[in-house]
Amino acid sequence: MKVNGFDFDDNTRAALSGLPRAGRLPHALLLECPDADRAAQAAVLLSMFAVCSGDGEHPCGVCKNCRNAREKAHPDVTWLPLLPQKKQYAISQIRDMIRDASVLPNEADAKVYILENCDERLASRPEAQNAFLKLAEEPPPNVYFMLLCRSAQSLLPTILSRFTVVRLRSEAVYDEAARRAAEDIARGILDSNEYPLLKACRALTDKACADGALAALRLHLRDALVLLSGGKPLGDSETARLLAARLTRQKLLDLLALCDSAGVKIKQNVNMNLLGTWVCGECRRITWQR
């Protein structure tokens, strides 16, 4: 994916350019980014990639499809608006969009639907999210859905499991305490002695730190997975290399899922002392099971 002409930091650039597989984007994407403008820019780039009709690497940036998508004026790229006086998407809008998705595109070979600010517009609408589920499993050909949000954890776990979640975060977003906690937890996971992990997981009892620590831990795990598949990691962490050298792909995936579950529990106001103990126990179970 060509990311020329967009002002992204290295992490965002790497996350986006690593997305296409065999020239195609995942059909259901969830872009998580603390900065709504950057998320929107990322969605613009991805929509250009989806509709581009130029030769060579996409998006070419110069074909009519690219130019219109860039201006948010492409008939096949829908930035779903809110209805007047509304702060959330209406279920009828989601249903209309799903119906529209099965209609062939006008000018491009693909259709794209972009839903912004899903933390507020979709998060408290489980029925609207559920309408997506079947679609995310069996999307019409050449149709792409992109949900943009600040925190993926505000959406239903069933959505998270069906959408490809892309976290557009630069390392700098985590504060030092969160980064160190993630590092300690990852090293603790690899230690045959339980005590270092138990000690590291105490950082999760601090709610302010826990979200960042889990996000930073995810980055290590994700990079370890990328390393295992021979790809280029987003960060340059020794921790990710150690994780990749010592854990199987399945265990890394299970640990990632654990981070997501822990995030959901934080949102549900779980007792933070119990959370630390639970994460520690689950890490041990996942890591040391055969």
Minimal distance, residue 55 CB to Zn ion, in Å: 9
- DSSP sequence for 259-285: HHHHHHHHHTT--HHHHHHHHHHHHHH
**59 or 105: CB nearest Zn ion:** 59
**58 or 222: CB nearest Zn ion:** 58
Query: Does 54 contact Zn ion by CB under 5 A?
Result: yes
Total interface residues for Zn ion by CB under 5 A: 6
**59 or 233: CB nearest Zn ion:** 59
Other CB atoms within 10 Å distance of the CB of residue 82: 15
Q: Which member of 25, 42, 52, 178 binds Zn ion (CB under 5 A)?
A: 52
- DSSP sequence for 189-232: HH-SSSHHHHHHHGGGGSHHHHHHHHHHHHHHHHHHHHHHTT--
Query: With b meaning 16 or more CB within 10 Å and e meaning fewer, what string describes 117-133?
Result: bbbebbbebeebbebbe
Q: Considering only 13-21, 55-63, 131-139, 201-209, which stretch makes contact with Zn ion by CB under 5 A?
A: 55-63
**59 or 139: CB nearest Zn ion:** 59
In whole angstroms, give the CA distance from residue 240 to residue 255. Answer: 13
> Among 281, 176, 203, 287, which Cα is nearest to 242's?
287
In whole angstroms, give the CA distance from residue 44 to residue 268. Answer: 33
Query: Does 45 contact Zn ion by CB under 5 A?
Result: no
Which parts of 8-37 interact with Zn ion (CB under 5 A)? none
Query: Does 60 contact Zn ion by CB under 5 A?
Result: yes
**49 or 163: CB nearest Zn ion:** 49
> Among 134, 144, 124, which Cα is nearest to 26's?
144
Q: Which member of 66, 189, 275, 280 binds Zn ion (CB under 5 A)?
A: 66
**What's the angle, vertex CA 90, arms to CA 85 and CA 92, rounded to 5?**
130
Q: Considering only 45-53, 214-222, 235-243, 275-283, which stretch makes contact with Zn ion by CB under 5 A?
A: 45-53
- 3-state class (DSSP) for residue 51: helix
Query: Does 51 contact Zn ion by CB under 5 A?
Result: no
In whole angstroms, give the CA distance from residue 33 to residue 271. Answer: 27
Minimal distance, residue 59 CB to Zn ion, in Å: 5
Minimal distance, residue 208 CB to Zn ion, in Å: 44
Other CB atoms within 10 Å distance of the CB of residue 27: 20
Other CB atoms within 10 Å distance of the CB of residue 173: 17
Q: Considering only 20-28, 44-52, 97-105, 274-282, which stretch makes contact with Zn ion by CB under 5 A?
A: 44-52
Q: Which member of 29, 33, 63, 215 binds Zn ion (CB under 5 A)?
A: 63
Which parts of 198-227 interact with Zn ion (CB under 5 A)? none
Query: Does 64 contact Zn ion by CB under 5 A?
Result: no
Residues that bind Zn ion (CB under 5 A): 52, 54, 59-60, 63, 66
